[in-house]
Amino acid sequence: MTIEASVELDLAANHRCDGEAEGVFIVKLGGALITYKDDYCKPNTAVIKEFARVLRARWSELQGRLILVLGGGSYGNGVPYRYNLLDSYGNWRPVDLSMMTVKTLEFMSLVADVFRDEGIPCYPFQTSSYLMTRNGEPQNFWIEPIKHALSLNVLPVLSGDMVFDSDRGFVIFSSDRIPELFVNSVSVKRVVMLTNVPGVLNDSEVFRRVAPEDHELVLNKASASRQQDVSGGMRNKVKCLLRVANLGVESVICDGRDPSVLLHALFEPEPPGTFIEPREYIRRENDLCSSPLPELTAPASLHK
């Protein structure tokens, strides 16, 4: 065995043993970046390849420590409209029920192929196979296979999906909510959401740093997407990341139109875009990731 191969094996072993202690990063690539969002099921393969190359440059540090979440974009927003799957109480046809999951898995498989071509091992996980909701909130989910993939230094590829719901039959579960499923069972270091805007905007300026006491003000400033978006746009992203912050995990929302920004968002203490500070949190065994936001009084100003 060559010295280089021996070192590579040692690195892999260290990540398998220490990845949990070092902390896992969860990255969501926004659907407006990796698809042509206003079209139907049209991926932006060139941009996906750029993200793969960016991650490949730091893969020795990220293997076993990274979960990739794909925004639905032209898949997650186009399919529910085409097949009338937005609401289980609507006029949907049982023969069409699988289409959200089929098209989402098609997209995840395409991304996994692109990443594989760049030398990054991936595995796509179908959301409706490990998650069930109750009235739209996570009820039961089993993420052990995903954690095991991390232990093998494989990159889990996840997305939103149609999932079965014990009260409502089925719901569309947003990719923005995927990170919440992990924060109580995996040591998450940072959640990064890349979008096609600079961050959370306060009129024309970006909120640079959001302290726990600023949560309500930032949420009130966040708005819905101007493109087709069944998940609620920026407001939904902020709500999800504030829940993550309440569970003790920091997060970043920033502009990913230059894919190289991803490394800055992952590793810098003062990342680009909007940094959401975590609330001090003592983990308890039966805490729910979907806990509501506490009642807060909006402060007079924010840290710019």
Where in the chain are the domains? 23-276
Q: Which residues contact 7 (CB under 8 A, 6 or more apart)?
A: none
Q: Report how far apart, in Å, the C-alpha atoms of 223 and of each of 50, 86, 101, 234, 243 are.
A: 28, 20, 27, 6, 17
Residue 71: predicted pLDDT = 96
Per DSSP bridges, beta strands 274-276 and 209-210 are: parallel
Query: What pLDDT, in 10s, does the model give residues 77-111?
Result: 899 999 999 989 989 999 999 999 999 999 999 99
Triad 181, 121, 15: Cα angle to 5°: 70
Average pLDDT estimate for 269-290: 71
Higher pLDDT, 18 or 164: 164
Q: How many residues does the chain have?
A: 304
Residue 3: predicted pLDDT = 34
State which of 22-26, 225-229, 279-283 shows the largest mean pLDDT.
Answer: 22-26
Higher pLDDT, 14 or 39: 39
Binned at pLDDT 50, 70 and 90, residue 204 comes out as confident
Average pLDDT estimate for 248-264: 97
Rounded Cα distance between 55 and 61, Å, is 10
Is residue 157 within 8 Å of 68, Cβ to Cβ? yes
Going across the sheet that includes 155-159, the strands are 122-124, 155-159, 66-70, 24-29, 188-195, 250-255, 274-276, 209-210
Residue 264: predicted pLDDT = 97
What is the CATH class of 23-276? alpha beta
The answer to which of 114-118, 140-144, 186-190, 286-290 has the lowest mean pLDDT is: 286-290
Q: What are phi and psi of 132, to 5 degrees?
A: -130, 140
Query: What pLDDT, in 10s, does the model give residues 214-227?
Result: 998 888 887 654 54
Query: What pLDDT, in 10s, does the model give residues 139-165?
Result: 999 999 999 999 999 999 999 999 999
Residue 297: predicted pLDDT = 31
